[in-house]
Amino acid sequence: MESKNIFSGPIKIYALGGLGEVGKNTYCVESDNDLIILDAGVKFPEDDLVGVDYVIPNYSHLKDNQSKIRALFITHGHEDHIGAIPFLVKIVKIPIIYAPRLAAALIKQKLAEQKIKEKVTIIEYDADSVITAGEFKVSFIRVTHSIPDSFGICVDTREGRIVNTGDFKIDLTPVGPEMEIHKMSKIGLEGVDLLLADSTNAEKEGWTPSEKNVLDSINEIFDKATGRLIISTFSSNLNRIQQIIDCALKHNRKTVILGRSMINTVDIALKFGYIKVPTSMIREVETMGDLKDYETLILCTGSQGEPMAALSRIANGTFKGLRIMPGDTVVFSSSPIPGNGASIQRVVNQLTRAGADVITNSVFVDIHSSGHPSRQELRMNLKLYQPKYFMPAHGEYHMLKLHGDIAKTMGIPSENIFILGNGDTLLLKNHKVTDGERIPAEDVFIDGYDINGVSTAVIRDRKILQEDGMVGVLLVIDSKKNELVCDPKVFTVGFVSYGDYQDHLTRHASSQVRDALEELFVSKKVTFNDIKNTTRSVVSKYYFRKTQRSPMIIPLVMNRNS
């Protein structure tokens, strides 16, 4: 046994997602014989990813090392940590998923909704669990976050100890169970070789406000609202939802819950006791007309401006049975995720035009408290764990860099701090960490539930169609005579629609294609590819010269044999 350890390779640590981005957190610990995965998150696309529903990691490395995978461990139930599980289990056989109670329930619901046929074993863990997965021993640290049952993960290996904080904030007056600071300190005193830590709020100095601070602002909004009150927040922020429901009880308002994810999550939370609410105060949207405006609270999804979420549909008038009326108060009880600002502002403008009083998070109204640590909490986290080596995780590049700078001020040598990207590998050997090789970790774009993903070429084509439109050119040729049967027919989609000017452009484009092809036919016997390439070149140059735009050019060639 000892000789095996002497000649065995180092432990590899790498991220397939979560570095250089906010979302799709997926971290792996791998030895010669065993591999465990920490989280399997999804990232929601920004506006420029046309037609893309989800962004997930490339799982090719996991597929190639299928026989080594022992388990998937989940830190908590947010989408950027569990959302990719339905795609992962279709591609890779996961023997067991270990998850905290609430996350386990959310995962089961998600797999059932997407009709996953693959058999998935899910086992719940708690703060006292210790799990052996291959050669790894895994234990858990309860942390404070914006969703109950959130944990950090400690992985003990033959070469050293690795800790992943998961998402957390150090809230000394939490809504819910206390953070296990004593356990963090104990693990730190025993020795942490490599720490991976949440970097989302690394640019914010001080402490993240306690969730209890939000309660006063919510109460004040309830006091002032004279009409219907519509509050949008993350469906997974159960502590916030409980606070809102408590305020509704205090102000004698009945609650209408809208949005599929909000309804499903609240149902699970009620079942397991994470939310407590009298059944008499929950109303269906169909019976909302029986309530006076000042008796009504609508709790819904859509705080990030998602086009299909309940709040967006209410704002644009497409939600059946519910329209914004003057006197309504709409509250965005969340902060924008990077990239969602424009979508949120669009919904805010629609709501305001319809007559609503819209309240968003600001220095004047504290209606959201982040679930992530600010700089003082990051310092305290580093002080408690005292890692020899440090890898900032969960954040865009500037967040990771700032977190690394904080670690330097806490006494960690710069050569022991690793600012990595997805696919970069660290090697842990005899309690020392060094750089390793890269593995594939590019984004995979999901359209619907097709696990094959959408290629970057398709994404590029969609962007061209969105921005510059399309020009089609119908060509009828006689391949035996090597000539055009009739003039090319040019038509545009989503490009130019200026009446006579459009006709002018299409006539001239047709004429130029005809002249170029006739010259081509004279010079040689041509192939279909020659015809298409010439057409693309001529039309592309002509339209760019006339409009300074580069539409997608699609030649359609029909052959009429003499």
Condensed to tens digits (0 to 9), the pLDDT of residues 354-401 reads: 999 998 865 444 555 688 999 999 999 999 999 999 999 999 999 999
Is residue 457 in some structural domain?
Answer: no
pLDDT tens digits, 512-552: 989 888 888 887 777 888 888 899 888 888 888 887 777 88
pLDDT (0 to 100) of residue 472: 86
Q: Provide the token pair at 160.
A: 């050293």
Q: Provide the token pair at 145.
A: 């976050």
52 lies in the same domain as 108: yes
pLDDT (0 to 100) of residue 102: 95
Least confident of 24-28, 74-78, 84-88, 546-550: 546-550
pLDDT at 213 over 80: no
Is residue 286 in some structural domain?
Answer: yes
pLDDT (0 to 100) of residue 73: 98
pLDDT (0 to 100) of residue 448: 61
Is residue 323 in some structural domain?
Answer: yes
Average pLDDT over residues 259-266: 91
Give the integer Cα–Cα distance in Å for 25 and 153.
14
Is residue 107 in some structural domain?
Answer: yes
pLDDT tens digits, 341-350: 788 899 999 9
Is residue 455 in some structural domain?
Answer: no
Domain boundary among 359, 391, 414: 359
Which distant-in-sequence residues (6+ apart) come within 8 Å of 91 by Cβ? 59, 62, 63, 451
17 lies in the same domain as 162: yes
pLDDT (0 to 100) of residue 343: 84
Structure-model confidence comparison of residues 334 and 276, the more confident one = 276
Give the integer Cα–Cα distance in Å for 489 and 509.
9
Give the integer Cα–Cα distance in Å for 73 and 122.
10
230 lies in the same domain as 347: yes
pLDDT (0 to 100) of residue 465: 64
pLDDT at 117 over 70: yes
Sort strands 552-559 and 470-478 into parallel, antiparallel or unpaired.
parallel
pLDDT (0 to 100) of residue 216: 80
Q: Give the CATH number for residue 247.
A: 3.40.50.10710
pLDDT at 445 over 80: no
Q: CA neighbours within 13 Å on the CB side: how many for 361?
A: 18
Give the integer Cα–Cα distance in Å for 330 and 324.
9
9 lies in the same domain as 141: yes
Average pLDDT over residues 195-207: 95
Distance between first and last Cα of the chain: 81
431 lies in the same domain as 550: no
Is residue 456 in some structural domain?
Answer: no
pLDDT (0 to 100) of residue 46: 64
Spell out where 9-134 has E strands: 11-17, 26-30, 35-38, 54-57, 69-73, 97-99, 122-124, 130-133
State the DSSP code for 499.
T
Q: Give the CATH number for residue 96.
A: 3.60.15.10
87 lies in the same domain as 221: no
Q: Provide the token pair at 276.
A: 């407590």
Q: Give the CATH number for residue 483.
A: 3.10.20.580
CA distances from 23 to 46, 51, 231, 381, 422 (A): 12, 19, 24, 22, 12
pLDDT at 10 over 90: yes
pLDDT (0 to 100) of residue 438: 93
Query: What is residue 443's three-state secondary structure?
Result: strand
Helix (H) or strand (E) holding 350: helix 341-353
Give the integer Cα–Cα distance in Å for 16 and 39.
10
Helix (H) or strand (E) holding 103: helix 101-113
State the maximum Cα–Cα separation within the chain, in Å, rounded to a whole number: 88
144-174 burial code (b ≥16 CB/10 A, e <16): bbbbbbbbbbbbbbebbbbbbbbbbbbbeeb
218 lies in the same domain as 95: no
Average pLDDT over residues 302-315: 88
Structure-model confidence comparison of residues 562 and 203, the more confident one = 203
* pLDDT confidence tier of residue 478, bands split at 50, 70 and 90: confident
* pLDDT confidence tier of residue 1, bands split at 50, 70 and 90: very low
Assess contact for 257 and 270: CB atoms under 8 A: no
Domain boundary among 302, 331, 359: 359
* pLDDT confidence tier of residue 2, bands split at 50, 70 and 90: very low
Q: CA neighbours within 13 Å on the CB side: how many for 491?
A: 5
pLDDT (0 to 100) of residue 4: 45
Assess contact for 41 and 110: CB atoms under 8 A: no
Percent of the chain scoring above 90 in pLDDT: 57
pLDDT at 85 over 80: yes
Give the integer Cα–Cα distance in Å for 299 and 235.
9
CA angle 333, 297, 233 (to 5 degrees): 20
Average pLDDT over residues 313-319: 91
Return the number of other C-beta atoms located less than 10 Å from residue 141's C-beta. Answer: 25
pLDDT at 450 over 70: no
**Mean pLDDT, the chain, as a whole number?**
88
Is residue 495 in some structural domain?
Answer: yes
Is residue 461 in some structural domain?
Answer: no
Average pLDDT over residues 553-558: 87
Q: Provide the token pair at 247.
A: 């305020």
Least confident of 118-127, 269-278, 483-492, 494-503: 494-503
Least confident of 23-37, 314-328, 514-528: 514-528
pLDDT (0 to 100) of residue 561: 67
Give the integer Cα–Cα distance in Å for 360 and 348.
9
423 lies in the same domain as 307: no
191 lies in the same domain as 278: no
How many domains are there within the chain? 3
How far from the centroid of its chain's Cα atoms is residue 122's Cα? Answer: 23
Fill in the amino acid letter for 503: D
pLDDT at 204 over 80: yes
440 lies in the same domain as 541: no
* pLDDT confidence tier of residue 137, bands split at 50, 70 and 90: very high
pLDDT (0 to 100) of residue 496: 55
pLDDT at 466 over 80: no
pLDDT (0 to 100) of residue 237: 85
287 lies in the same domain as 355: yes
pLDDT (0 to 100) of residue 49: 58
37 lies in the same domain as 178: yes
Domain coverage including residue 280: 211-359
Q: Can you list the alpha helix ranges (DSSP code H) found in 10-99? A: 60-64, 79-82, 85-91
Q: Provide the token pair at 510.
A: 């047709």
Give the integer Cα–Cα distance in Å for 100 and 78.
12
